[in-house]
Structure 1
Amino acid sequence: MGQIITFGEVLMRISPRGNKKFIQSNMVEYYFGGTELNVGISIANFGSDVKHISVVSDDFIGKTAISYLNKFGVNTSSITSSKRPLGVYFLEVGAVMRPSAISYNRSHSSFSEIAPSMVNWDDALKKGEWIHWTGITPALSKGAYQTLKEGLVKAREKGMVISADPTYRSGLWQYDQDPKAALSDLLNYSNIFIGGINEMNEVLGTDYGYSNDEFLEASKLLIEKYPSIEKVFDKIRTSLNSSWHKIRARMWNGSEFRETEDLDITHIVDRIGTGDAFAAGLIHGLRHFDDYKAMEYASAACALKHTYEGDVNLSTEEEVMNILGGNTTGRLLR
């Protein structure tokens, strides 16, 4: 199989230990993450060849970030450096009825100044089979949007599979670009849609609800409007409180609607990056299994991510398959 390509910002996450607020503590932990990076590392942990494309700071923080990716076997040969600092975000982890809180410091980060001339897409995609993008990257800057579009055009010319998670976050779009137009533009190059009703309503200009019937109706309209899209996958989260969630998934693949059973997560360690874990599990699953099993694999990968601190799902394929086999008791492995 060919290489999986991810493209996006590398961020440093800074958090007080445990569930403390910053005002309670002068001791913090840091992790590296970023939506597309989280997807790439997770897929690498499943055993695939992955390359991440980005721009990091030209200092010891940027070098440490590259070392972090290399530790998981991710190819970093297409990552360049900049005199601007690495993007940072601050996280206070909530508990029970208290939600988590995030503050970003990424407006003038190293990645925000990226331009198409900084990525040699012909070289970067040489071994590529699949490229994954999200709505976070085109929201960051015009250069990020233009660079991503150029990469998708090249990937389409090469016949690569293109998966899209067009997450819309209104607070990120701070430059002169209509978000709906930009996301719609990029979806014209995409084959796999990973997103729910909110994302479909954003690009379609509709107001569908969350029922299965409306999901199916929205999915059919999405495929009609964007003929390159072949399959739609949606992760559904039911939140009982900040510490107890349920995860399931549903799909429309152009001919069949299916839905998985709920996976109960009764004690969340860290929910950051769980959607990325779902996307990574789905990409891995679609390359190895049928659509329904791929969706089950994605849900199990997502559920497991809730048990790891940090942004990245550290689970292996064997560990995900254990969950699919019904081993959800957490009994000690000897």
Structure 2
Amino acid sequence: MREGHPRSGPDVFTFGETMVALRGSGPLKLGGTMNVSIAGAESNVAIGLSRLGHRVHWAGAVGDDEAGQLVLRTLRAEGVDVSAASTDPDAPTGLILFEPRLPEVTRVHYYRAGSAGSRLQASALERAFSAAPPRILHLTGITPALSPAALAAVRRALQLARQHESLVCLDVNYRSRLWTAEEASPVLREWIPFVDALIASDDELPLCLPADAIAGPEPEHDPSAAIAAQATRLLELGVGEVVVKLGADGATAFSGDSSLHRPVQPVRAVDAVGAGDAFVAGYLSALLDGADLAGRLARAVTTGAFAVASPGDWEGAPTRGELGMLGAPPGTVVR
């Protein structure tokens, strides 16, 4: 994959909706206490990268309310530049509720219709790029599903990234509660020629491929061969690198004529929410550091493991100095 050009702007620029997050200890209908935090795929990645020592800018819109202040205050406290963020006086900050129902099953309830975050305007991104073009633009498939305005903003960001020769990373992050596969596929396929690094789970790859390119080995007969065939087709369509997240089976990256698999780091799982975002942060961090494919995957599964081993969307993201802790023997006390 080509290198991002050295520049005075941020290492990574990303944008999207960040909401206030309330986490209950059990069924919501029973009441009880809730922990207050923030959550958003793009801001999770931004925090993860900032903790690893990278310069990150985040843009988004929050309401002119206390919830919006919490979002901005938290990101600032984590070292993320929010100078490109905006406050919308006519719409509220979105809300997300997490309801743990089983040890490994959490229900999520969104209250984001008509939120400030869904009203993000392309003009905010234009100002950010004109002030300081980033080395990498990071996008997800969540933002374009929020509203026509948000979709237009993502399209404009892709144009700006090409104009300024910024690398583009797309984490598909398909959410069926926001849009259908039939709605998402044309949009994602339109973006493929702009993408340098595509990160997706195995079931998201077909969303990015033309219908006539999906045919290949049947996944139920040979899952690995089906994934490889789809990743190869995406490389042929111009993507520089395809990284496939496989959950408990680790991840596989495809680049040029080579592929590399990396198993997960074994940890005691506490909360899988945010693991994919932590994985992306680790991958981009190693890419910014000039690591090879093996090094990028190694850091990605490491940061993903930190997320799984900690409650919350982003709270468990490691600092650079903590990356080696997973290799320590059980019972180790770090002084």
The alignment's TM-score, normalised by the length of structure 2, stands at 0.88
Shift of 1:122: 5.3
Answer yes or no: is 1:25 the counterpart of 2:31: yes
Determine the structure 2 residue equivalent to 1:218. Answer: 230
SS where residue 177 of structure 2 aligns?
Answer: helix
Determine the structure 2 residue equivalent to 1:237. Answer: 247
Answer yes or no: is 1:85 the counterpart of 2:101: no
In structure 2, the CA distance between the partners of 1:164 and 1:123, relative to structure 1 (3 Å rule), is closer
% identical equivalent positions: 24
Determine the structure 2 residue equivalent to 1:7. Answer: 15
Determine the structure 2 residue equivalent to 1:113. Answer: 119
The runs of 5 or more residues in structure 2 that have no matched partner are: 1-5
Shift of 1:314: 2.7
* Letter of the 2:234 counterpart: L
* Letter of the 2:240 counterpart: E
TM alignment of 1:57-206, pairs within 5 A:
57-82=63-88, 83-96=90-103, 99-121=105-127, 123=129, 126-173=132-179, 178-204=183-209, 205=211, 206=214
User: Do 1:274 and 1:305's aligned partners in 2 also have CA atoms closer than 8 Å?
Assistant: yes
SS where residue 266 of structure 2 aligns?
Answer: strand
In structure 2, the CA distance between the partners of 1:41 and 1:217, relative to structure 1 (3 Å rule), is same
After superposition, the C-alpha distances for 1:273-307 in whole angstroms (9 at most, x for unaligned) are 11000001000011221111110110010011112
User: Do 1:235 and 1:299's aligned partners in 2 also have CA atoms closer than 8 Å?
Assistant: no
In structure 2, the CA distance between the partners of 1:85 and 1:236, relative to structure 1 (3 Å rule), is same
After superposition, the C-alpha distances for 1:58-116 in whole angstroms (9 at most, x for unaligned) are 122212211100001100100001121111111112434x6211111111110112232
Shift of 1:272: 1.2
In structure 2, the CA distance between the partners of 1:264 and 1:71, relative to structure 1 (3 Å rule), is same
Shift of 1:320: 1.8
Determine the structure 2 residue equivalent to 1:253. Answer: 255
* Letter of the 1:92 counterpart: E
User: Do 2:44 and 2:278's aligned partners in 1 also have CA atoms closer than 8 Å?
Assistant: yes
Distance (whole Å) between structure 2 residues aligned to residue 286 and residue 261 of structure 1 = 19
SS where residue 147 of structure 1 aligns?
Answer: helix
Distance (whole Å) between structure 2 residues aligned to residue 94 and residue 320 of structure 1 = 31
Determine the structure 1 residue equivalent to 2:3. Answer: none
Distance (whole Å) between structure 2 residues aligned to residue 202 and residue 127 of structure 1 = 29
The alignment's TM-score, normalised by the length of structure 1, stands at 0.89
Distance (whole Å) between structure 2 residues aligned to residue 300 and residue 213 of structure 1 = 26
Determine the structure 2 residue equivalent to 1:319. Answer: 322
Determine the structure 1 residue equivalent to 2:292. Answer: 290
Shift of 1:124: 5.7
Distance (whole Å) between structure 2 residues aligned to residue 119 and residue 295 of structure 1 = 30
SS where residue 52 of structure 1 aligns?
Answer: strand
In structure 2, the CA distance between the partners of 1:233 and 1:330, relative to structure 1 (3 Å rule), is farther
Shift of 1:187: 2.3
After superposition, the C-alpha distances for 1:160-211 in whole angstroms (9 at most, x for unaligned) are 111011122222028xx93211111222211001113211111223365272
Which 4+ runs in 1 deviate beyond 6 A?
none
Distance (whole Å) between structure 1 residues aligned to residue 264 and residue 225 of structure 2 = 18
SS where residue 194 of structure 2 aligns?
Answer: coil
RMSD of Structure 2 on Structure 1 (CA): 2.0
Determine the structure 2 residue equivalent to 1:47. Answer: 53
Distance (whole Å) between structure 1 residues aligned to residue 38 and residue 112 of structure 2 = 14
User: Do 2:197 and 2:241's aligned partners in 1 also have CA atoms closer than 8 Å?
Assistant: yes
Determine the structure 2 residue equivalent to 1:243. Answer: none
